[in-house]
Amino acid sequence: MSFDRLISKIISMKNPTVAGLDPKLDYVPMFLRQCFLDEDGETLKAAAKAIFRYNQMLIDALCDIVPAVKLQAAYYEMYGHPGMKTMERTIRYAKLRGMYVITDGKRNDIGATMEAYAAAHLGTCMIGSSECEPFGADALTVNGYLGSDGINPLLSICRERDKGIFVLCKTSNPSSGEFQDLLIDGVPLYARMGDKCEEWGADTVGNYGYSGVGAVVGATYPEQLSELRARLPHTMFLVPGYGAQGGGAAGIAGGFDKNGLGAIVNSSRAILCAYKKEGCDERDFAGAARREALRMREDLTSYISIG
Amino acid sequence: MSFDRLISKIISMKNPTVAGLDPKLDYVPMFLRQCFLDEDGETLKAAAKAIFRYNQMLIDALCDIVPAVKLQAAYYEMYGHPGMKTMERTIRYAKLRGMYVITDGKRNDIGATMEAYAAAHLGTCMIGSSECEPFGADALTVNGYLGSDGINPLLSICRERDKGIFVLCKTSNPSSGEFQDLLIDGVPLYARMGDKCEEWGADTVGNYGYSGVGAVVGATYPEQLSELRARLPHTMFLVPGYGAQGGGAAGIAGGFDKNGLGAIVNSSRAILCAYKKEGCDERDFAGAARREALRMREDLTSYISIG
């Protein structure tokens, strides 16, 4: 259990980017959307099938230059159980194409219930004497508000199956400070959460110096990103908020260590909807996504040097 | 948007209980489980179908004496997309039988993503010109660590469709204090979260004095339950931790107002597995669940008087 598999991919592709697959049906180009709606009507099933095909084509266009995808669970749940089937199929397809898969579910609960989430997203589930893998991602984002009872149940599955978690610390949104910046004996809550990440991951530090317990730290707070990089030397960062939310590559650089490691930066809409911004033929949506991903790699690596 | 529909049911049944449908396959009696495994093999699909039948029989046995069910999302996700289909079908069936349905998903995110969760669990989703309802619960549990950006996107859907949310404040687990009890200027974090619940719900107070923004407060912390009841006069409590986790009815009484309202107490395993504890024929599992629910009502209402 560590992020070694992810970090190896980042090094070999010289790209600390994760592509966020947060697919609203509106993002799916009409030519693709329509053929599924024609087949199955205006149903959740049709939407889910269209989104799977969209994801598949994006993965094909990105898998040799982007090391990882992050699936935002909300955009799959929104399409009901057919949407969850698309989530499962997308995860399997991305793994088949060699990508590292993060499910962004921000799950949280305690004890046996948290074990159920771990089984669902990172592990397996016994049905009689058969071992079934429900979703099978490589890593899961989680919310630590419930304390160690919510994190420990994940760790044994992570250890057994070499999986990882990212715990929300300092999120990218404007109101993240309402709770996360509150000072407890002079230390903000997000830093306390970060300290716990170091503790939870302590005995899982891998070859690159990072444990299997990472933290979510927003690109929109570059100062806190640098501060946490120094404070949490063994904690890998998942960094949302690049681009659309206003986080720039210069500020993000502070989230990396001296080897250009220790963070992976997410971009969702800018990649998914690059064809809209480019104004190219929508049939070239995957090509536009690839061009945006290359532009982003260029942008990030102009501030850091990897490996 | 308020909890009036829920509170009316509580009053008419004189029962402030919510039955937790947290169905591990192991809980499903063998006679029921086996026939689905015979039909579909040892698959997630077979498990999910067995669980739906189990839920249906429990709902039939409980719906005239228990006002609400709470579905723990983790136990449906554990069975993959077939499990999510069972979640959807269970919600529809419970509503058909007149029950109020809470999805215990502890979801959290920001902005458009939180809107997607709201659409998924409480609202609808447009596919072309057709409005589809993915899961359709009456209320959803959420985690407020991300601040108002994570709660506001829910409120418009809650207003439009008369739905509610319960925000985690003081959870029932032993380590809940690691973060929730931290003092900020002398006020613990859980109370700050509670204050926000009052603020978020301020303009949605219903006929019984409670808003549509409730709070999760564990039965295992009776002192905090009483303290929060006084501090948060418009906030309905969802109280986990009764029974198995050690919370007793006497301690829980402090979570209710002088009219015996303002809280609903969850019991999951004690009801689901009552047949195991009773040692009755497993074919009578639903009867045993009903007997346990009646015993629990008796227990709770010996300390409070409703309406």
Q: Give the tens place of pLDDT for each residue, A229-284.
A: 999 999 999 999 998 777 889 999 999 999 999 999 999 999 999 999 999 999 99
What would the two tokens of residue B57 be? 């029989």
| Cα A120 to chain centroid, rounded | 16
User: What does the pLDDT read at residue B280?
Assistant: 96
Q: Could you give the percent of chain A with pLDDT greater than 70?
A: 100
Contact (CB<8Å) B78/A196: no
Contact B208, B198 (CB under 8 A): no
User: What does the pLDDT read at residue A1?
Assistant: 76
Report which residue type is found at A189: L
| Nearest CA among B306, B2, B16, B240 for reference residue B138 | B2
| Nearest CA among A184, A174, A204 for reference residue A3 | A204
List the single residue in B43, B150, B192 with the smallest CB-CB distance to A132.
B43
Q: Which residue of A has its CA nearest to B130?
A: A42
Domain residue limits, chain B: 4-19+63-73+101-301
pLDDT at A217 over 80: yes
Q: How far is A257 from chain B (nearest CA, A)?
A: 26
> Strands B130-132 and B125-127, how do they pair?
antiparallel
List the single residue in B72, B120, B127 with the smallest CB-CB distance to A25.
B127
pLDDT at B227 over 90: yes
- What residues of chain A, 160 to 179, have a C-beta less than 8 Å from chain B? 168, 171-179
pLDDT at B6 over 90: yes
In degrees, rounded to 5, the angle at the alpha carbon of residue A198 between the alpha carbons of residues A193 and A199 is 90
User: What does the pLDDT read at residue A55?
Assistant: 98
Q: Show Cβ contacts of residue B256 under 8 Å, excluding neighbours closer than 6 positions.
A: B16, B229, B262, B263, B304
Long-range contacts of the stretch B26-31 (C-beta < 8 A, 24+) = B27/B54, B27/B269, B27/B272, B27/B273, B28/B54, B29/B54, B29/B275, B29/B282, B29/B283, B29/B285, B30/B282, B31/B282, B31/B283
Chain A partners within 8 Å of B148 (Cβ): 175, 178
Q: Which residue of B has its CA nearest to A123?
A: B78
Question: What is the C-alpha R_g of chain B?
Answer: 19
List the single residue in B81, B109, B196 with the smallest CB-CB distance to A88.
B81
pTM metric for this prediction: 0.98
- According to DSSP, residue B247 is labeled B
List the single residue in B44, B106, B189 with the smallest CB-CB distance to A132.
B44
Contact B176, A145 (CB under 8 A): no
CATH code of the domain made up of B4-19+63-73+101-301: 3.20.20.70
- What residues of chain A, 30 to 49, have a C-beta less than 8 Å from chain B? 37, 41-44, 46-47
| Nearest CA among A26, A20, A6 for reference residue A59 | A20
| Max CA pair span of chain B | 60
Contact (CB<8Å) A113/B72: yes
What would the two tokens of residue B209 be? 């004095």
Q: Is B137 on the interface with A (CB under 8 A)?
A: no
Contact (CB<8Å) B180/A134: no
pLDDT at B152 over 80: yes
User: What does the pLDDT read at residue B189?
Assistant: 97
Cα–Cα distance for residue pair A304/B96, rounded to 1 Å: 58
Across the range B85-104, mean pLDDT stands at: 98
Report which residue type is found at A76: Y
List the single residue in A79, A134, A144 with the smallest CB-CB distance to B134.
A79
User: What does the pLDDT read at residue A51?
Assistant: 98
Residues of A known to be catalytic: 106
Report residue A110's pLDDT band, with 50, 70 and 90 as the boundaries. very high
Q: How far is A306 from chain B (nearest CA, A)?
A: 30
Q: Is B130 on the interface with A (CB under 8 A)?
A: yes
Q: How far is A79 from chain B (nearest CA, A)?
A: 6
Question: Residue B68: phi, psi to the nearest 5?
Answer: -150, 155
pLDDT at A145 over 90: yes
Q: How far is A13 from chain B (nearest CA, A)?
A: 29
Across the range B248-254, mean pLDDT stands at: 93
What would the two tokens of residue A154 be? 């994940």
Report which residue type is found at A215: A
* b/e B156-167 (16+ beta carbons within 10 angstroms → b): ebbeeebbbbbb
CA atoms within 13 A on the CB side of B211: 22
Q: How far is A181 from chain B (nearest CA, A)?
A: 11
List the single residue in B43, B119, B184 with the smallest CB-CB distance to A183.
B184
Chain B partners within 8 Å of A114 (Cβ): 74
- What residues of chain A, 280 to 299, have a C-beta less than 8 Å from chain B? none
User: What does the pLDDT read at residue B287?
Assistant: 98
Q: Which residue of A has its CA nearest to B191?
A: A179
| Nearest CA among B252, B280, B279 for reference residue B266 | B252
CA atoms within 13 A on the CB side of A224: 26
Q: How far is A145 from chain B (nearest CA, A)?
A: 6
Report residue A307's pLDDT band, with 50, 70 and 90 as the boundaries. confident
Across the range A22-51, mean pLDDT stands at: 96
CA atoms within 13 A on the CB side of A108: 25
Q: Best of A103, A178, A181 to disrupt the B interface by mutation (most B CBs within 10 Å)?
A: A178
Cα–Cα distance for residue pair B240/B269, rounded to 1 Å: 12
Q: Where are the alpha helices (DSSP H) in chain A?
A: 4-13, 30-40, 44-62, 74-77, 80-96, 111-121, 148-161, 177-180, 189-201, 222-231, 249-252, 269-272, 274-278, 285-301
Cα–Cα distance for residue pair B163/B153, rounded to 1 Å: 13
CA atoms within 13 A on the CB side of B59: 26
Give all strands (DSSP E) within B177-290, no chain letters. Answer: 183-184, 187-188, 213-217, 237-239, 263-267
Q: Which CATH architecture has domain A4-301?
A: Alpha-Beta Barrel (3.20)
Q: Is B204 on the interface with A (CB under 8 A)?
A: no
| Cα B174 to chain centroid, rounded | 20
Helix (H) or strand (E) holding B170: strand B164-170
Q: Best of A78, A154, A170 to disrupt the B interface by mutation (most B CBs within 10 Å)?
A: A78
The per-residue pLDDT of chain A, averaged, comes to 96
| Max CA pair span of chain A | 60
The per-residue pLDDT of chain B, averaged, comes to 96
pLDDT at B245 over 90: no
Q: Give the tens place of pLDDT for each residue, A87-103.
A: 999 999 999 999 999 99
User: What does the pLDDT read at residue A52?
Assistant: 98
